[in-house]
């Protein structure tokens, strides 16, 4: 496509570089008596009779360069020198238009496109809308253009912007490091996680694309809205949160303020990093109440903040912290050693809690606010479908007098058991690691009733808080509480994969349990009867989903380490390493689902576990086909005759992977 500016081509009155000069050179050579004379005539006419040029030719003879390589390097250097000339010289408007007019006829050439883009960057104020329309229709230009030009092209063609942004966004969603880090419910540095998410390369590329262009900023928010409307994934909420914080970090705060939800996100981010003091909470309550009054679609963007898995984790952890604080306060007034009836203790806690609800004590109001915000976030996707932008009320009687009451029962029992454990630990220093006691019988007064179990199945808020409690107990090294709670999770599993919030909540809980055990409790698990009950619970849940099977296999792999083996040797019980292969085989017998999902990834993990088992304690407790036949068959795709030993394990592993 030729650009409409038209100026006469200059008359080539000397032998300059280019196609016309090639014709003149040919005529000069044709009119010469011989080739040598012709070359001399060309040198004279073009003023290139360079002194001592002959002295360079021996160097060329010994350089090893082919004529093709020399000519290619010469042409590339000429192209680059022209680009440098554009940067160095100043062109008036007439010369700029003249160059664009000529170059427009040769845009199929990469070298010409590079020169055109260099000129456009330098003289960006001379690019008319008509010229941008011309550039945007050339896909090569869009790919090769520097970001300053590309940004203007995107603003003129939003579909082009969407074409470039969508693959980056999809890669963000697929990034497993981001995905797993956001789902961790304990044991992570919140500020580091937020920074890691915000500095994601794909996210930063999008922020760079947008620059300070308000059109692209608005279009990006529109795309996020469309993506969330399509499926409602919590990861999209994380992306939106990180996008605003990344834009703020890039000094685009004035652009961010154009969106109604930015201040809300800013206060939540500040609270997560520094703590939710009364000022931050009051500001958030004020903005929430204002949005609630309008009852418009804008409220969904606020609700999305509280569907971000990391925000959910922080708020649910805060709820557990507040509830436990009430248990601690009550136990100070009535020491456990003076309580003859555990129900007296529970009654005191419940009375204290609900008395403060009436008086609107700070901690209690924070508890109600955190609960309300989790409820708010859980309804973000529902409001899209229903187009009803009024938040449904939370059944406080069911929640506070039922669900929270039972959690408090459990926490009182936790405290009583912890006191007994501390007394025993003071008497027996090895008790912390070697534990032969079995899980005690669960008191009837701390078991969930059918109503609470049903609530877990239908309430996203209840699941988030209960899962946080289980993860907290895992982090504190309380296998009794974890073992008592996991059956309630099993009884309230989602019925299908369409309930993605239910699904992701339970998957993230199991992921956090496995991560904490790997980090802090591997040796205890092998030395404790009570911790082994938790492993049994994990094995029993593996047929539910392939992702859970992968997590448990990952846990088993981490038992096969020199660190664990050395600690067991010091304790005099290294033979407990054989428990790992027994658990792994039992899990395979229980029912490994090899029909759906990424079966290849699961099989690879089994192969890695077999390999790692040969590398610890000289392979004495390694996984072999005679000990773990079902596992072996799964790992090696039915080939039971493979003879694996420590020497050739690595080669076999590489072959199968």
pLDDT at 8 over 60: no
Instruction: List, for residues 63-76, the tens digit of each pLDDT value.
Output: 777 777 777 777 77
Residue bearing the bigger pLDDT, 539 or 60: 539
Assign 9 a pLDDT band (cuts: 50, 70, 90): very low
Percent of the chain with pLDDT over 70: 79
Instruction: List, for residues 28-58, the tens digit of each pLDDT value.
Output: 667 666 667 766 776 666 666 667 766 777 7
CA distance 360 to 354: 10
CA distance 422 to 271: 35
Report how far apart, in Å, the C-alpha atoms of 543 and of each of 441, 495, 547, 548 are.
Answer: 27, 14, 10, 8
pLDDT score for 374? 95
Closest CA to 552 of 597, 511, 596, 600: 511
Report the pLDDT averaged over residues 625-650: 69
Q: Range with the lowest mean pLDDT among 127-141, 142-156, 292-306, 516-530?
A: 127-141
Report the pLDDT averaged over residues 209-231: 94
Phi, psi angles (nearest 5°) of residue 333: -75, -35
Residue bearing the bigger pLDDT, 378 or 184: 378
Closest CA to 504 of 237, 133, 163, 202: 237
Report how far apart, in Å, the C-alpha atoms of 132 and of each of 123, 137, 151, 154, 387 are.
Answer: 13, 9, 11, 10, 40
User: Does 151 lie in the same domain as 126?
Assistant: yes
In a domain, 25, yes or no: no
The residue from 156, 177, 209 where one domain ends is: 156
Phi, psi angles (nearest 5°) of residue 47: 55, 45
The residue from 130, 156, 182 where one domain ends is: 156
Is the Cβ–Cβ distance between 114 and 87 less than 8 Å? Answer: no
- If one counts the domains in the chain, the total is 2
Report the pLDDT averaged over residues 367-393: 87
Closest CA to 412 of 299, 336, 514, 516: 336
Report the pLDDT averaged over residues 462-482: 95
Report the pLDDT averaged over residues 90-102: 79
Token pair 């703020």 is found at 248
User: Does 163 lie in the same domain as 272?
Assistant: yes
In a domain, 343, yes or no: no
Percent helix, percent strand, percent coil in the chain, to nearest 5: 75, 0, 25
Most confidently modeled range among 61-70, 82-91, 221-230, 497-506: 221-230
Q: Range with the lowest mean pLDDT among 390-399, 523-532, 567-576?
A: 390-399
User: Does 293 lie in the same domain as 164?
Assistant: yes
The residue from 309, 336, 364 where one domain ends is: 309
Q: Give me the sign of the Cα torsion angle 566, 568, 574, 578.
A: negative
Percent of the chain with pLDDT over 90: 40
What is the DSSP-derived secondary structure letter of residue 401?
I
In a domain, 15, yes or no: no
User: Does 67 lie in the same domain as 205?
Assistant: no
Contacts 24+ apart (CB under 8 A), 54-62: none
- DSSP letter string over 115-175? HHHHHHHHTGGG--HHHHHHHHT-HHHHHHS-HHHHHHHHHH-HHHHHHHHHHHHHHHHH-
pLDDT at 177 over 70: yes
User: Does 183 lie in the same domain as 99?
Assistant: no
Cα R_g (the chain), whole angstroms: 35
Instruction: For the chain, give the number of residues.
Output: 657
pLDDT score for 4? 38
In a domain, 256, yes or no: yes
pLDDT score for 466? 96
pLDDT score for 176? 72
Phi, psi angles (nearest 5°) of residue 528: -125, 125
Token pair 């649910």 is found at 316
Assign 461 a pLDDT band (cuts: 50, 70, 90): very high
Q: Which residues pair with 528 in a beta bridge?
A: 435
Report the pLDDT averaged over residues 607-615: 91
User: Does 273 lie in the same domain as 170?
Assistant: yes
Range of the domain at 55: 50-156
User: Does 192 lie in the same domain as 99?
Assistant: no
Using DSSP, state whether 435 is helix, strand or coil: strand
How far is it between the farthest Cα atoms of the chain? Answer: 125
CA distance 65 to 394: 80
In a domain, 226, yes or no: yes
CA distance 17 to 631: 73
- DSSP letter string over 455-473? HHHH-HHHHHHHHHHHHHH
Q: In angstroms, how far is CA 388 from the centroid of its own chain? A: 31
Q: Give me the sign of the Cα torsion angle 620, 626, 627, 631.
A: positive
Is the Cβ–Cβ distance between 318 and 366 less than 8 Å? Answer: yes
Assign 602 a pLDDT band (cuts: 50, 70, 90): confident
Q: In angstroms, how far is CA 373 from the centroid of its own chain? A: 23
Is the Cβ–Cβ distance between 453 and 546 less than 8 Å? Answer: no
CA distance 330 to 348: 7
CA distance 364 to 382: 28
pLDDT score for 399? 85
Per-residue tokens: 40: 């001399």
Per-residue tokens: 148: 């300053």
pLDDT at 598 over 70: no
Token pair 């952890």 is found at 317
Most confidently modeled range among 201-210, 363-372, 384-393, 634-643: 201-210
User: Does 193 lie in the same domain as 141?
Assistant: no
Report the pLDDT averaged over residues 334-360: 59
Residue bearing the bigger pLDDT, 72 or 298: 298
Burial 393-405 (b: 16+ CB within 10 A, else e): ebeeeebbebbbb
In a domain, 82, yes or no: yes
In a domain, 141, yes or no: yes
Closest CA to 221 of 203, 204, 243: 243
Report the pLDDT averaged over residues 537-565: 93
Report how far apart, in Å, the C-alpha atoms of 264 and of each of 284, 292, 337, 371 are.
Answer: 6, 13, 47, 17
User: Does 237 lie in the same domain as 209?
Assistant: yes
Average pLDDT, the chain: 81
pLDDT at 603 over 70: yes
User: Does 173 lie in the same domain as 269?
Assistant: yes
User: Does 192 lie in the same domain as 287?
Assistant: yes
Assign 252 a pLDDT band (cuts: 50, 70, 90): very high
pLDDT at 656 over 80: no
User: Does 171 lie in the same domain as 205?
Assistant: yes
Report the pLDDT averaged over residues 494-512: 89
CA distance 193 to 186: 12
pLDDT score for 222? 95
Token pair 């995107």 is found at 154
pLDDT score for 376? 94
CA distance 143 to 161: 12
Report the pLDDT averaged over residues 136-152: 79
pLDDT at 141 over 50: yes
In a domain, 635, yes or no: no
């Amino acid at each position: 496509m030729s650009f409409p500016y038209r100026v006469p081509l200059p008359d080539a009155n000397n032998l300059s570089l280019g196609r016309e000069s090639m014709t003149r050179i040919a005529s000069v050579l044709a009119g010469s008596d011989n080739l040598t004379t012709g070359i001399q005539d060309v040198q004279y006419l073009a003023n290139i009779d360079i002194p001592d040029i002959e002295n360079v030719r021996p160097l060329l003879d010994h350089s090893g360069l082919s004529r093709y390589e020399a000519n290619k390097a010469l042409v590339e250097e000429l192209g680059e020198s022209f680009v440098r000339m554009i940067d160095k010289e100043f062109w008036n408007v007439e010369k700029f238009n003249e160059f664009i007019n000529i170059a427009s006829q040769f845009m199929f050439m990469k070298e010409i496109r590079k020169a055109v883009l260099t000129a456009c960057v330098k003289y960006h104020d001379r690019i008319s809308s008509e010229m941008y329309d011309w550039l945007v229709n050339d896909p090569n230009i869009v790919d090769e253009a520097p970001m300053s030009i590309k940004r203007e092209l995107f603003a003129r063609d939003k579909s082009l912007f969407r074409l470039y942004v969508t693959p980056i966004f999809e890669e963000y969603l697929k990034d497993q490091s981001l995905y797993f880090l956001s789902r961790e419910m304990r044991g992570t540095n919140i500020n580091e996680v937020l920074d890691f998410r915000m500095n994601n390369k794909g996210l930063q590329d999008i922020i760079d694309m947008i620059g300070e262009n308000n059109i692209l900023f608005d279009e990006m928010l529109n795309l996020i809205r469309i993506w969330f409307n399509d499926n409602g994934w919590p990861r999209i909420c994380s992306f939106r949160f990180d996008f605003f914080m990344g834009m703020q970090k890039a000094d685009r705060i004035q652009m961010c303020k154009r969106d109604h939800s930015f201040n809300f996100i800013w206060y939540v981010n500040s609270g997560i990093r520094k703590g939710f003091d009364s000022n931050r909470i009051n500001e958030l309550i004020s903005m929430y109440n204002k949005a609630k009054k309008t009852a418009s679609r804008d409220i969904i963007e606020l609700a999305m903040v509280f569907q971000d898995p990391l925000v959910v984790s922080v708020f649910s952890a805060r709820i557990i912290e507040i509830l436990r604080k009430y248990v601690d306060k009550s136990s100070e007034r009535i020491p456990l050693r003076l309580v003859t009836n555990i129900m007296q203790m529970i009654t005191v806690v419940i009375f204290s809690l609900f008395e403060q609800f009436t008086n609107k004590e700070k901690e209690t109001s924070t508890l109600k606010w955190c609960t309300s915000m989790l409820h708010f976030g859980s309804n973000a996707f529902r409001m899209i479908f229903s187009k009803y932008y009024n938040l449904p009320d939370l059944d406080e009687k069911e929640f506070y007098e039922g669900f929270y009451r039972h959690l408090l029962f459990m926490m009182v029992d936790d405290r009583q058991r912890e006191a007994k454990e501390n007394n025993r630990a003071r008497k027996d220093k090895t008790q912390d690691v070697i534990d032969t006691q079995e899980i005690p019988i669960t008191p009837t007064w701390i078991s969930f009733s059918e109503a609470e179990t049903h609530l877990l199945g239908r309430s996203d808020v209840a699941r988030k808080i209960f899962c946080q409690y289980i993860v907290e107990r895992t982090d504190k090294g309380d296998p009794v509480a974890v073992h008592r709670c996991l059956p309630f999770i099993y009884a309230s599993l989602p019925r299908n994969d369409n309930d993605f919030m239910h699904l992701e909540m339970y998957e993230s809980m199991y992921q956090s349990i496995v991560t904490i055990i790997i980090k802090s409790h591997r040796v205890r698990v092998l030395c404790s009867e009570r911790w082994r009950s938790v492993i049994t619970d994990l094995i029993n849940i593996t047929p539910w989903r392939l992702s859970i099977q992968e997590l448990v296999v990952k846990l088993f792999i981490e038992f096969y380490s020199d660190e664990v083996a050395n600690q067991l040797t010091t304790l005099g019980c290294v033979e407990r390493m054989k428990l790992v292969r027994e658990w792994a085989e039992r899990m395979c017998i229980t029912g490994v689902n090899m029909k759906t999902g990424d079966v290849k990834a699961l099989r690879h993990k089994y192969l890695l576990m077999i390999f790692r088992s040969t590398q610890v304690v000289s392979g004495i407790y390694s996984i072999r086909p005679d000990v773990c036949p079902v596992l072996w068959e799964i790992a090696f795709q039915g080939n039971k005759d493979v003879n694996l030993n420590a020497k050739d394990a690595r080669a076999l592993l590489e072959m199968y992977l």
